Chain A
């Protein structure tokens, strides 16, 4: 089994038909790891595991068709690019969550007929909320 380090924290080990990708759990949350794995479902069988110390995810990509080492290596490289992109998307989504909720609430409120708007305002006043 050959091993190649990408950097000090994450690396991959590739076998004949599969590649083990080690992802530090401190840096990458679970959601983007799952999202990234789903990108590879068409070409690979995917298993996510945790190491004994629970500090890293170990993603095993097994080729659905017998593969070359080169392709496994390419899959690992593509995986890290996808992971980075999904992590960024996840962080932006978290950061913008409140504003997205606010915009949708405003849109739903103003799409109601005037009478319904009044009812909503009354309900909010009764529940002690000032805003939507």
Chain B
């Protein structure tokens, strides 16, 4: 699965901190292209895709606000 964060809305540090926090759940890679930070997620339990994606989104949002 891929999750895209607009680079003018979310700071990279927030995305990276969230990736570090979720490292135990799946494999994450972050790339910056065409104004978005694209997070690729692999090796996770597909039955929990919505929960993993959603909680990741919310965590990045909270970390962005703290920046």
Chain A interfacial positions (CB closer than 8 Å to B):
30, 34-35, 37-38, 41, 45-50, 54, 57, 62, 64
Contacts and interface: CB of A to CB of B under 8 A. Distances in A.
13 contacts: A34-B61, A37-B61, A38-B65, A46-B61, A47-B57, A47-B61, A48-B6, A48-B9, A48-B10, A48-B61, A50-B9, A62-B50, A64-B54
B48 to A, nearest CB: 12
B13 interface: no
Given A38-B65, A45-B53, A54 B58 contact: no
A49 B62 contact: no
Contacts of A45: 50, 53-55, 57-58
A49 B54 contact: no
A33 to B, nearest CB: 9
Helix, strand, loop or mixed for chain B's interface?
Answer: helix
Contacts of A41: 58, 61-62
B52 to A, nearest CB: 10
B45 interface: no
A120 to B, nearest CB: 32
Interface string B26-67: 000000000000000000000000100111011001101100
A46 B58 contact: yes
Contacts of B9: 30, 48-50, 57
